[in-house]
Amino acid sequence: MNIIVPTADSRMLAIKEKVRNGERLTLEDGVFLYQSDDLLSIGQMANEVNLKKNGKKVYFIENMSLYFTNVCEAHCAFCNFRKDEGQEGAYTLSGQQMVEYVSQHYHPGVREFHIVGGHNPHVPFQYYIDSLKALKEAFPEVTLKAYTAAEIDFYSRISGLSYREVLQELMKAGLESLTGGGAEILSDHYRKKMRVEKADVSQYLQVHRTAHELGLKTHTTMLYGAIETHEDRIRHMMQIRELQDETGGFLVFIPLSMQPINPRAGIRRRNSAFEDLKTIAISRLMLDNFNHIKAYFINIGTQLTQVSLTMGASDVHGTIVKERISHSAGALTPEGITREDLVWLVKGAGRIPVERDTFYNEIKVFE
């Protein structure tokens, strides 16, 4: 009697067959892909999935990243953005001060403000409401994509309001979408080890669930490259996938390559290009119910972003103007990029650049 022992090659072929038939990949499939060194096969599968969903279109947005405060009660091990109240470099801007800052950098093509910041316990919840109001009154045509699920949980704690009530108050002030931050790795063990002193796994998911119930479309992330295992990453994707099955409220998944605290850190302290591309491709394969996987050039660089467009990514984020969080943690990439450079970058990969709004409505197709 012959016993057929599965080999890496036969396992990869079985996964390819699943992908081509539109079958959902399992935890074991995802971990196998991470452990494989066959990046080209993984990337080719992800590319096929993406082409079926989006054709050759690659999306970007004209946006600005805004940070009202860097004062934060949490002390997450990976964060170099946060400050204590009174510490050198700590700041908390009023709505009017932010409007003045935006006015110096704004041009009529900007379609989105991406707003995140510290969990500042020295100001009331009303401060965070008024911050959005000031921006919406000054720039009514710009979409407010504001705050992470962890920030919403923090506002709930300081205000005594439920997640639903917090979101409803912010929506009255102009909130139109939530950012994806605060997810890190959706593992309570990881969060304890990395001192993630903010929303836990169930709270992160519940905030997004509540936002989706209220009609908000949101974004979600995964910060990889610390102490987590490959299985942790796949379980993270599967939890997000399950919530998307339930609500359909996520617009895009954004894998974030962790940056070392010291900008002078060597390459051994950073994720490899191989790992970054593999994570984008595996995200595309695991998250079959997401339309878009984003390549975040701030963390992986513009050239790797370009390569990722043939490995499952369909979004290159936006112009940003001046990113601070990743750069405070040692990112070596540009703090922003021009619209023209984004178009050039996408065309250089043989793809079609598409300027979008926050909700992936097409503004302009650059044939």
Known binding residues are 72, 76, 79
Angle of helix 39-54 relative to helix 273-286, nearest 10 degrees?
Answer: 50
> In 20-37, which positions are buried (b, 16+ CB within 10 angstroms) versus exposed (e)?
eeeeebeeebbbbbbebe
* Residue 351 parent element (H or E): none
**CA–CA dist 85, 103 (Å, integer):** 27
The answer to whether the CB of 92 falls within 8 A of the CB of 123 is yes
CA distances from residue 91 to 167, 289, 331 in whole angstroms, order as listed: 25, 40, 21
Structure tokens at 48: 């096929």
Maximum Cα–Cα distance across the chain: 79
Nearest to 279 by CA among 202, 217, 221, 332: 221
> In 270-282, which positions are buried (b, 16+ CB within 10 angstroms) versus exposed (e)?
bbebebbbbbbbb
Structure tokens at 75: 């002390």
Name residue 220's beta-bridge partners. 253
Nearest to 247 by CA among 212, 222, 214: 212
The answer to whether the CB of 29 falls within 8 A of the CB of 326 is no
Signed CA dihedral, 240, 148, 202, 275: sign only: positive
The answer to whether the CB of 59 falls within 8 A of the CB of 366 is no
Nearest to 356 by CA among 307, 291, 311: 291
**CA–CA dist 335, 65 (Å, integer):** 10
Binding site for [4Fe-4S] cluster: which residues?
A: 72, 76, 79
* Residue 64 parent element (H or E): strand 63-66
The answer to whether the CB of 331 falls within 8 A of the CB of 308 is no
